[in-house]
Amino acid sequence: MARRLVRAAAVGPGDLVFDLGAGGGAITLPLARTGARVVAVERDVRVARRLDAHLERHDNVRVITGDALTVPLPGRPFVVVANIPFAITTAVVRRLIASPMSGAHLVVQRGAARRLSAAAPGRPELLGWQAAFDFQRLWSVPAHCFRPSPAVDGAVLRMRRRPQPPPRELASLLRYAFRSPHAPASRVLGRAVARRAGITPGTPIIAVTATQWLATLRP
C-alpha cells in the first residue's frame, strides 16, 4: 500500500518531499528509493533514531525529531506524502494550506477524506481550501493495513494547488453568505449572479460548490 501511494505521488529527483509522522518508515523508505530529497518527521525520539539508523545509507533522506504541527516548513514549494495522525488531520491540512506546498498525497481517516473532497462541504473554511486546492479521494486503505490497526478505515486524499489563487474577496463573500446557510443562493447572491455561476434556482447556500463560488466573483 505504501509503494502504491508513492507511485501515485510520482515524485523523483529534484523534488522536496515531507513525510509527516514517518513512524517506522513504511512510506519513507519507498520515497527514499525515488531519489527525491526526503524529510521524514517523527515526534517520538526513539522511533526517529531507529528510523535514522535504518535509512543511514540513503543520503537523500533527513530524519527530524519533531511534531507535524510545529516542525518548520520550507519557504519554497514542496510536496507531502504521508500517513498523518488521524486525530490532527484538520490541523495539519490547515497548516499545509497556508504553506507554499504544491501538492500532497495523504493517508487520512476515511470520513475526513470524504468531507474534504465533498462537492459541497457546506463550511466556509473547507470551501476556501477547495478554492485554493483540488481535493480528490483516490482509494480506501482498510484498517488492517495499519500497524497498529485503527478503529476506522483510512483513505488516500490527493491535494493539488490550483493554478490561480482564490480572489481575496472570496473569504468575505463566504462569511456573508453563510449567515443564512439554508437560504436559497439566488436570494442571498442575487438571481443574476447565481445564474452566471450556474447555480440552479432554489439551491441553498450550503449546497453551492467551490467552483460555483469562484464563478460568482468573475466579471
User: Are 84 and 92 within 8 A, CB to CB?
Assistant: yes
pLDDT confidence band for 148 (50 / 70 / 90):
confident
Q: How far is CA 218 from CA 26, 45, 163, 178, 182, in A?
A: 45, 50, 16, 20, 24
Task: Render pLDDT for 79-108 as a digit per residue (tens, 0 to 9).
Answer: 999 999 999 999 999 999 999 999 999 999
pTM above 0.85, yes or no: yes
Residue 190 has what pLDDT? Answer: 93
Gyration radius of the chain over CA positions: 19
**What is the predicted pLDDT for the residue at 150?**
87
Asked if residue 197 has pLDDT above 90, the reply is yes
Higher pLDDT, residue 150 or 113: 113
Is a pLDDT exceeding 90 seen at residue 219? no
Q: What is the mean pLDDT of residues 49-62?
A: 95
What are 204's strand-pairing partners?
A: 184
Backbone angles phi, psi at 77, to 5 degrees: -60, 140
Mean pLDDT, range 159-177, rounded to an integer: 95
Average pLDDT across the chain, whole number: 95
The gap between the terminal CA atoms of the chain, to the nearest Å, is 45
Q: Is the pLDDT of residue 113 over 80?
A: yes
How far apart CA 26 and CA 23 sit, in angstroms, is: 7
Give the pLDDT confidence score for residue 218 in this predicted structure. 83
Question: Which cell numbers hold the place of 34?
Answer: 525515488
Q: Using alpha carbons, select from 121, 94, 135, 108 the residue that is nearest to residue 181.
A: 121
